A and B are shown apart, each in its own frame.
Chain A
Amino acid sequence: MSETLLDIRGLKTHFHTFGGLVKAVDGVSFQVDKGEVVGLVGESGGGKSVIGFSILRLIDPPGRIEAGEIIFDGEDLTKKSEEELRTVRGGEIAMVFQDPMTSLNPVYTIGRQMDEMLQLHTDLDASARRKRCIRMLEDVGISEAESRLDAYPHQFSGGMRQRVVIAIALLAGSRLIIADEPTTALDVTVQSQILKLMRRQIAERGAAMILVTHDLAIVSEMADRVVVLYCGKVVERGRTEDVISHPAHPYTRGLLDSIPRIADRQRRLQQIPGMVPDIRKLGEGCSFRDRCSRAQPLCAEKTPELLPVRHSLDAACHYPLNEAEA
């Protein structure tokens, strides 16, 4: 039986802007088991990145976590003090961002930034730390690791920097890695190298990962389970193969149909009509209804709840697709 590492229940992160209340994350619940990769997908404005930041409580005003529990290894992170959280950030839970330059300090060498991590989270002496850093750089595929320790971030290419960031994330022995669009800034051949590296390292260390991405293809290759977000709410979640092959929510179906398929080329792509509504003006009802071909009067009256549909799938839809339609 797999053990739950992270359990997010009813998370609400809202931003109080002058333009109105932005419910960026509005009642999101999902779990991450040990050793598992969970993909958070959705288009811009879905709230997927804000969830990642909320887990580490890196939400600055005007944003605020309004409600919900974030239970990591049995303890609620929303109730911890700033002091306690500091050991969690970068230690138990590490983050990898889209742009590696934002997470590396340009004025310190790679070695110093890696060492800092070990100083904070381990009791090793200087020479043991250095050895560990070198081995980690080798593990993430950086050659001549010893001399590279004295290099600065700008001396590395984008792909190499992302390897360094991953090395730092793995160094402290993090049990959960939140990767926010980790390969979006990279070229495809480098992307595939990095994704393989992350998958291998996570499997070897028995860590878990939350992979935040807009790219369903990456999720389908990497994730064990998928959570699909739309306008701050979970619209569908389930095992990856169920979500990709027979989704229950019309939005997920629409997203999948929008991707040009090499195996099955159509003259025209299926498109989701319209665009994402203004998140400040969402009222009662399903937020996808204006773009949905299956919408009925009920969809405007009542917000659908996330309920089990079939197999591993939960969907928030009054009229979910059955297996044959999907």
Chain B
Amino acid sequence: MTTPVLEVRNLVKTFHVGGGLFERLRFEKGRFSAPQKILRAVNGVSLSIAPGEVMALVGESGCGKSTVAKTIARIYEPTSGEIRIDGEDVSHLASRQMRPVRRKLQMIFQDPYASLDPRQRVKDIVIEPRRAQAGRAMSRKSLEDEAVALLARVGLNAEQANRYPHQFSGGQRQRIGIARALSVRPKLIIADEPVSALDVSIQAQILNLMMDLRDEFGLSYLFVSHDLSVVHHIADRIGVMYLGFMVETASRDQLFSRPKHPYTKALLSAAPTIDKALRKPEIEIAGEVPSALRLPQGCCFRTRCPFAFDRCAVERPALRQQPDGSSVACHLSESTA
């Protein structure tokens, strides 16, 4: 059995919100107190990605998918849980200790405008991670040659290497971001909504490029997206998140042909499509996502679930493996299994 490129167990990430001590300070019944408001962004998420595999996380805004991605990339410190990259536990490494790990793990961001330094030339942006890894071991000339080669690989020419980010369109900037991630030849790229800011014709170009690079370099991706058709196109396996919980994980074909969790079903039927044949009888869910400051008791989805029954309010369903290899966190799937 090969070591997974990424293995995450019971990842929890909470944020303290509500301001500083003096903003929270209360005086009640003759006593001062400063209650903490805790936002529970990620509540015990586990996943693993094999070499060369593309796993996607889908869900609506606030479901914690981006927080999972950023915590794995150690932009955030996990509250608890374990993150292993290529077998190495990186959950609590200090930023200096993380540096060698970043050779294996790179990130691509949603906003191609905010994620590139406007005052750096593109060739310098692209080679920055490589330079940080190599230290003084590489000559300026060889770094520059490598930058040009990287840019060529993502479809930009040598003349463009000397330009600044503002001289590029959104799609081209996303190519620059991809070239930068590739510069250290990582095993895993975490892509947080990499195409949602782009027009569809450009989106197709970027998705094709990402798939080509995976074949060429044997990359794995953790692909975070809210767009089911994009996820269906790129992912081998999909995890559906809701309110910080993983509610279902399954292979692409299983998830789209036989979704099990009521939320997954609702998500699939809500997505607009140009294929008339795909318009299924809809599972309509009313209302909106509850606040992560006050998680519902029991199942996270029960407040909107058309099938909720007594047990759902009392007991939180665990993510359980099904006979077909998928996993679902729903009391209904347990009884039928």
A residues in contact (CB < 8 Å) with B: 43-44, 157, 159-160, 187-193, 195, 214-218, 220-221, 244, 254-265, 267-273, 275-276
With contacts defined as CB atoms under 8 Å apart, how many contacts are there between chain A and chain B in the complex? 113
B272 at the A interface (CB under 8 A)? yes
A254/B201 contact (C-beta < 8 A), A262-B232, A265-B232 known: yes
Residue of B with least CB distance to A195? B272
Residue of A with least CB distance to B289? A187
A189/B201 contact (C-beta < 8 A), A262-B228, A263-B277, A263-B278 known: no
A193 to B270 Cα, complex, angstroms: 8
A-B CB contact pairs (8 Å), 28 listed: A43-B202, A160-B288, A187-B226, A188-B272, A189-B285, A193-B284, A214-B199, A220-B273, A255-B201, A258-B201, A259-B274, A260-B207, A260-B229, A260-B232, A261-B229, A261-B274, A262-B228, A262-B273, A263-B275, A263-B278, A265-B232, A265-B233, A267-B211, A268-B208, A269-B208, A272-B204, A275-B169, A275-B201
Contact A215 B272 (CB under 8 A): yes
B residues less than 8 Å from A262 (CB atoms): 228-229, 232, 256, 273, 275, 278
Which residue from B169, B172, B226, B282 sits with its C-beta under 8 Å from A188? B226
A189 to B63 Cα, complex, angstroms: 13
Q: How many residues of B contact A (CB 8 A)?
A: 42
A255 to B256 Cα, complex, angstroms: 23
Contact A217 B274 (CB under 8 A): yes
A107 to B291 Cα, complex, angstroms: 24
A residues less than 8 Å from B233 (CB atoms): 260, 265, 269
Contact A259 B200 (CB under 8 A): yes
B residues less than 8 Å from A244 (CB atoms): 274
Residue of A with least CB distance to B231? A260
Residue of B with least CB distance to A275? B169
Which residues between 219 and 273 of chain B lie within 8 Å of chain A, taking CB atoms? Answer: 226, 228-230, 232-234, 256, 266-267, 269-273
A residues less than 8 Å from B167 (CB atoms): none
B residues less than 8 Å from A221 (CB atoms): 272-273, 279
Residue of A with least CB distance to B211? A268
A residues less than 8 Å from B277 (CB atoms): 263
B residues less than 8 Å from A214 (CB atoms): 199-200
Contact B270 A189 (CB under 8 A): yes
A271/B205 contact (C-beta < 8 A), A192-B272, A215-B272, A258-B200 known: yes
B61 at the A interface (CB under 8 A)? yes
A258/B275 contact (C-beta < 8 A), A157-B288, A189-B270 known: no
Contact B203 A258 (CB under 8 A): yes
B60 at the A interface (CB under 8 A)? yes
B171 at the A interface (CB under 8 A)? yes
Contact A188 B288 (CB under 8 A): no
Closest Cβ of chain B: how far from A211's Cβ, in Å? 12
Closest Cβ of chain A: how far from B109's Cβ, in Å? 19
Q: For the complex of A and B, list the 10 residue pairs with the smallest distance between their C-beta atoms, beginning with the closest.
A: A260-B233, A187-B60, A43-B199, A258-B204, A217-B272, A272-B201, A269-B204, A192-B270, A271-B204, A260-B229
A residues less than 8 Å from B204 (CB atoms): 257-260, 269-272
Closest Cβ of chain B: how far from A182's Cβ, in Å? 13
A267 to B207 Cα, complex, angstroms: 11
A189/B199 contact (C-beta < 8 A), A271-B204, A275-B171 known: no
Closest Cβ of chain B: how far from A145's Cβ, in Å? 15
Residue of A with least CB distance to B212? A268
